[in-house]
Each structure stands twice: as structure tokens, then as C-alpha cells.
Copies of this chain bind each other. A is one copy, B any other.
């Protein structure tokens, strides 16, 4: 009777080990599946332009890096806790708007008349709803106002004093002019006005102005964020103070849906920074999306095609950050540098400034 018993015991042991192995494999496979279904991610930018290491101090580098990391971490934390991509991009942008380092919110450049005017937009990739504000003053966080336009009105874009009246009606935080005063931006305006005065050949200047925009690094610093949340929803947001010394209520690409900002759950979310007029004429955000949708390109190929080929051919400089519905990330730029950062698949924050 011993032999059969031993056999049975051995069989049971083998059987149990096999069952355990299968169970472990099933659990691991489920985890793998769960980890795929909860792919999420975030990318931000703080402007593209003539950003050269030789012109930077290590203190300034550190300041930019710290602020970008902070914005990314707050946004990523929202996503990690199951929050929405809209909340993540709005939170990240607000942090950058509240910093004097970037050309948005507090750190915005001055217009010709010495005021600060903001453009911002946000888009929900799930519903294709969007909100934007153009040429608004006194609003502490233009991106929050853009989101209210999306969620509380039937409109996409509100501008000027009207948008500020809407902000008051919604109880949005308004700030006095001096909140937006930064010594650095004021000096940039004075230098630009002085250079304008020194130009004694207005006709020559006009030709130059018409043929090619002089986009100085002083105007750079538009901020943007894109995110994919655990529910698979994409969102994009962009905020800017526009161009130093700008006149005539000029509005750039940042508040234009499809140009500076675009999100669509079928494809990707994009935020742009650079020579706004070229982004508007090229429909940069939407073009990246439709190159994926209509041409079957990957996010990386679509973003590179638009930023490194099509924009360059038209004469426009700048960059974009983008994330697709699978969590892939792209950050192409055709300028010397772009303040940018993302969180990798292990949750590690990566921040970069220059070309690599």
C-alpha cells in the first residue's frame, strides 16, 4: 500500500506546484493587463526658442528645472490617483502661470502700451469640447478661465473686456496690474521700444516686419501641458503672454483650437510653442492628429513631420509636446532649446532644456 501512497503524494506535490505556478502566472498576467489598461502620462513645456547653455546661469537652469518638476509632479499625482487629464493639465499650467519664470500669467511679457494680455486654451479629447480666452487682462490664471468657457458657456472663445466681464461673473481671481509686473519683462519691453526708435528707416523696417517676424527669446516662454489619464482620456492646455511689445490686440496660436492646442481621444493631445502665426497657418495641433488618423503615422512620425519638416519649410520655428492614446510621448522642436519635461513609465520625472 506504501507505493501507491508515495505516488499519490508525489503526484499531489507536482500537481500543487503546477497549480501554484499557473496561479502566479495568472496573477502576473492580470497585473500586466491592469498595468496596460491604466497607462497614463504627462508632458509639459515652458516655451521653445533661442535657449543656449552659454547664456544661462546654473541658478536659472536650476530654477526652471525645479518649477517644471513641480508642475509635472502635481499633474502626474492627479493622474496617478485616478484624476482626470483635464485636472492634471490645468493644475500643471496654473503652477507655471504663478511663476515669474514663464511668459504666462505672472511672468507674462508686456504689450506695447505696458499692459499684460493673456491668451489660453484647453481641450477635452473625449468630448472634443474646448475653451479659450484671448487678449484678457488681470486674470491670475487664464487657463482656469478657458476651462470655465468650455464648461460654463456654449462658446469656445471669449476675448478682451468681454472675457474679463465673464471672469468677474464667474468669481475668477483677478489681480491688479502690479501683480504681473516683473523687472525682467519690463526691461525687455524698454529695450525693444528703444530698438524700434533707433530704426530710422521705417520703410525698410516695414518690409522686414512683413516678410519675417522677429521672434526674440524675450517673447518665448509660452507654457503647455498634455496628459492621458487612467480612463484613457486625453487633454491639452496652453497659456501665454504673447509677444513683447505686441500691439493691436494681436492673438497668436495659443488660444486657437487646432493650432496651439488640440486633443482627441482617437489620436493624441498636443500643445505648441513658437512663432504663433506659423502655427496658426499650419494648424499644427490638428495636423499632427490627422496625420495619425488619416495617414496612420505614429505620434513620433506625425509630430516630427509637422515640426521638423512642414513648419521649417514654411519658415516657422518652435516646438510641440504631445502624448498619444497609448501613452507614447513626443517633444520635437526646431529651435535651439525648449523647456520641457515628462514622467516616464516608471514614474520618474525627466526635465530637459537644450538639444541632445
Instruction: Answer whether residue A314 sits at the interface, using C-beta atoms and an 8 A cutoff.
Output: yes
Within 8 A of B (CB), among A270-321: 276-277, 280-283, 286-287, 290-291, 294-295, 314
Binds B, one of A34-42, A183-191, A245-253, A342-350: A245-253
| Contact of A280 (CB < 8 Å), options: B130, B153, B280, B314 | B130
Contact partners of A276 in chain B: CB under 8 A: 156
Q: Say how far A280's CB is from chain B's closest CB, in angstroms.
A: 5
A contacts with B, residue count (CB < 8 A)? 48
Binds B, one of A2-10, A46-54, A158-166, A196-204: A158-166
Do A258 and B277 touch (CB < 8 A)?
no
Q: Say how far A254's CB is from chain B's closest CB, in angstroms.
A: 11
Do B283 and A248 touch (CB < 8 A)?
no
| Contact of A135 (CB < 8 Å), options: B152, B162, B213, B258 | B162
Please judge, given known A-B contacts A160-B160, A162-B135, A281-B130, whether A152 and B210 are in contact too, CB under 8 Å. yes
- Complex CA gap A159/B251 in Å reads 7
Instruction: Answer whether residue A331 sits at the interface, using C-beta atoms and an 8 A cutoff.
Output: no
Do B166 and A248 touch (CB < 8 A)?
yes
Contact partners of A294 in chain B: CB under 8 A: 290-291, 294-295
- Complex CA gap A291/B151 in Å reads 30
Do A159 and B160 touch (CB < 8 A)?
yes
Contact partners of A72 in chain B: CB under 8 A: none
Do B158 and A248 touch (CB < 8 A)?
yes
Chain B: CB-nearest residue to A294: B294
Chain B: CB-nearest residue to A158: B248
Q: Say how far A167's CB is from chain B's closest CB, in angstroms.
A: 9
Do A247 and B134 touch (CB < 8 A)?
no
Do A162 and B247 touch (CB < 8 A)?
yes
Instruction: Answer whether residue A209 sits at the interface, using C-beta atoms and an 8 A cutoff.
Output: yes
- Complex CA gap A314/B157 in Å reads 18
Do A280 and B251 touch (CB < 8 A)?
no
Instruction: Answer whether residue A171 sits at the interface, using C-beta atoms and an 8 A cutoff.
Output: no
Chain B: CB-nearest residue to A276: B156
- Complex CA gap A295/B213 in Å reads 33
- Complex CA gap A134/B280 in Å reads 15
- Complex CA gap A290/B310 in Å reads 14
Contact partners of A162 in chain B: CB under 8 A: 135, 247-250
| Contact of A277 (CB < 8 Å), options: B156, B251, B281, B287 | B156
Do A156 and B249 touch (CB < 8 A)?
no
Chain B: CB-nearest residue to A297: B294
A153, A209, A251, A286 — which one has the most chain B CB atoms within 10 A of its CB?
A251
- Complex CA gap A155/B249 in Å reads 10
- Complex CA gap A234/B157 in Å reads 28
Closest 8 CB pairs of A and B: A162-B249, A162-B248, A294-B294, A159-B249, A154-B213, A160-B160, A166-B248, A258-B283
Can you list 16 residue pairs at the A/B interface with Cβ under 8 Å? A134-B159, A135-B162, A156-B281, A157-B251, A157-B252, A158-B251, A159-B249, A160-B161, A161-B249, A162-B248, A163-B248, A163-B249, A165-B247, A283-B286, A290-B290, A294-B295
Extra inter-chain contacts (16) besides given A153-B248, A157-B251, A162-B250, CB under 8 Å: A128-B281, A128-B314, A153-B210, A155-B248, A156-B277, A156-B281, A157-B252, A158-B248, A159-B250, A165-B248, A257-B259, A257-B281, A258-B280, A291-B294, A294-B294, A294-B295
